[in-house]
């Protein structure tokens, strides 16, 4: 079918077709999501707490993310692959963002990058876009700033709403191809989606965004804990547990491997 490209996503918004995004961190899951027709795969810095055992997104490094981005890029044929720029790898200057983003495309095969922040990063978005690197914005609750924001809280309430709208417009004007809206009131996300000509991708941002994203482990029911906005579309964790238990049992009682799993000569 060919690779999903930036202009396809914009066309989808214009046609009112919802865009799907999931996180992916390895080739095994990326291949499944790609075959399932998920339009865009995000190698999120959520790899930090979801896969690497850290307690937040803060510790993960570019060097730790590159192999994951490479695996997802190699395993997909259709999905547009977006690499998150992790904490500390882009904020200081547009040049720093450019250097990190170049690694994500050149060394790891990503098609676009994403980083957190609004109007103050317009210069970053502009430089990368001019350099040929599509940028996805991320507004609302931005996990890398959780120490400033005071925890995982809904953003854009009250007079904060106008700032969020301005941030979204600033990112679009700077050349961003899409904006993720995380944990913002549904009516505000709807308004931003109407104001912008580029697609909005919601997570905890209601049903009026141009697309949706979920962390795949939340989506598939791999974890006991998941936030209000993360519907479990499967119980993969329970299935995997059951498979491991059945394997342990059959090895323990000696029924596995049976004759058909063995070589007789």
Give the residue numbers marked as catalytic: 182
Q: Cα 20 to chain center, whole Å?
A: 11
Listed ranges 44-52, 99-107, 117-125, 204-212: which one lies at the site for ligand KIV (CB under 6 A): 44-52
# of chain residues touching ligand KIV (CB under 6 A)? 12
Residue 166, number of CB atoms within 10 A of its CB = 12
Q: Which residues between 178 and 237 bind ligand KIV (CB under 6 A)?
A: 180, 182, 203, 213, 215
Element (DSSP H or E) covering residue 116: strand 112-116
Residue 257 preceded by cis peptide, ω within 30? yes
Candidates 41-49, 67-75, 105-113, 243-251: pick the segment binding ligand KIV (CB under 6 A).
Answer: 41-49
Nearer CB in complex with ligand KIV: 177/203 = 203
* 134 near ligand KIV (CB under 6 A): no
Tell me: does residue 113 bind ligand KIV (CB under 6 A).
no
Stated length of the chain:
265
**Alpha helix segments (H runs only) across the chain:** 6-15, 27-35, 47-50, 62-75, 94-106, 122-130, 146-149, 160-174, 186-195, 216-219, 236-253
Largest Cα separation within the chain, whole Å, is 76
213 binds, among ligand KIV, Na ion, none (CB under 5 to 8 A by kind): ligand KIV
Binding-site member from 34, 39, 45, 218 for Na ion (CB under 5 A): 45
Considering only the stretches 76-84, 105-113, 126-134, 205-213, report the one whose residues sit in contact with Na ion under the rule CB under 5 A.
76-84
Cα–Cα distance, 30 to 41 (Å, whole number): 8
Q: Which residues bind Na ion (CB under 5 A)?
A: 44-45, 84
Site residues, ligand KIV (CB under 6 A): 23, 42, 44-46, 84, 138, 180, 182, 203, 213, 215
């Amino acid at each position: 079918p060919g690779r999903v490209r930036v202009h396809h996503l914009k066309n989808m918004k214009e046609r009112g077709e919802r865009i799907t995004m999931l996180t992916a961190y390895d080739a095994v899951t990326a291949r499944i999501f790609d075959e399932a027709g998920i339009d865009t795969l995000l190698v999120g810095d959520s790899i930090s707490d979801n896969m690497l055992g850290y307690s937040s997104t803060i510790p993960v490094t570019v060097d730790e993310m590159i192999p994951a981005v490479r695996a997802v890029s190699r395993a997909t044929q259709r999905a547009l692959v977006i690499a998150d720029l992790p904490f500390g790898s882009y904020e200081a200057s547009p040049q720093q963002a450019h250097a990190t983003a170049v690694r994500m495309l050149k060394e790891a095969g990503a098609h676009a990058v994403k980083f957190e922040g609004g109007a103050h990063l317009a210069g970053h978005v502009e430089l990368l876009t001019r350099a040929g690197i599509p940028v996805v914005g991320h507004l609302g609750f931005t996990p890398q700033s959780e120490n400033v924001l005071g925890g995982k809280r809904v953003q854009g309430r009250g007079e904060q709403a106008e700032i969020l709208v301005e941030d979204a417009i600033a990112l679009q004007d700077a050349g961003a191809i899409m904006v993720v809206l995380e944990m913002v009131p549904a009516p505000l996300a709807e308004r931003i989606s109407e104001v912008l000509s580029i697609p909005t991708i919601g997570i905890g941002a209601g049903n009026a965004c141009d697309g949706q994203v979920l962390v795949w482990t939340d989506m598939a029911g791999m974890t006991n804990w998941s936030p209000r906005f993360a519907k479990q579309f499967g119980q993969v964790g329970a299935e995997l547990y059951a498979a491991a238990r059945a394997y342990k049992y059959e090895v323990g009682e000696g029924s596995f491997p049976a004759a058909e799993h063995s070589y007789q000569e």
